[in-house]
Amino acid sequence: MTRLILLNKPFGVLSQFSGGKDDSPHPTLAQYVDLPGIYPAGRLDRDSEGLLLLTGNGALQARIAEPKHKMPKTYYAQVEGVPDAKALAHLRHGVRLKDGVTAPALVQAIDPPALWDRDPPIRFRKNVPDSWISLTITEGRNRQVRRMTAAVGYPTLRLVRWQVGDWSVEGLAPGEWREISV
């Protein structure tokens, strides 16, 4: 039986078990999950929150993380401003980034999702509105969602990975995890 850990990675936590290259003071996964022989299947940058999958099964790790498998990943992004139809269409069709054009994404404007409070909270700007979008991608480029929203003129303020494939972070508070069998 293969172990799969679903972790709600808090904001500011590195997606690794040991310290950063520069002996970073940022917390790591080791402060949340104390299980031998498991490793992250993919990454989630320090400034992002939400679902991080961990396993010790190399084949499963590859199926989750390698772009050739095109595992869908759904993110909730709080963006600065309110994206217009043109910006959402651009995200749906692919956005030109420095490392090439992204694959089309499933994108829609959404009501603010019922999420946990972020610590620290995002900055509030009285004169600049913000809004939420749901974005599903099948690639995994470095900081891809943030770069995509910025490229269409709506920088990401908060990014939460909600789902990877059929697995979701629903019901897990930041730092909590559950094990499932696959």
Cα dihedral sign, 61-63-64-66: positive
Distance, CA of 112 to CA of 178 (rounded, Å): 25
Distance, CA of 66 to CA of 34 (rounded, Å): 25
34 assigned to active site: no
DSSP-assigned letters across all residues of 116-167: PPPSSPPP--TTS-EEEEEEEES---TTHHHHHHHHTT--EEEEEEEEETTE
Query: Tokens 């498991």 appear where?
Result: 38
The active-site residue, picked from 22, 45, 117, 166, is 45
Q: Which residues are catalytically annotated?
A: 45
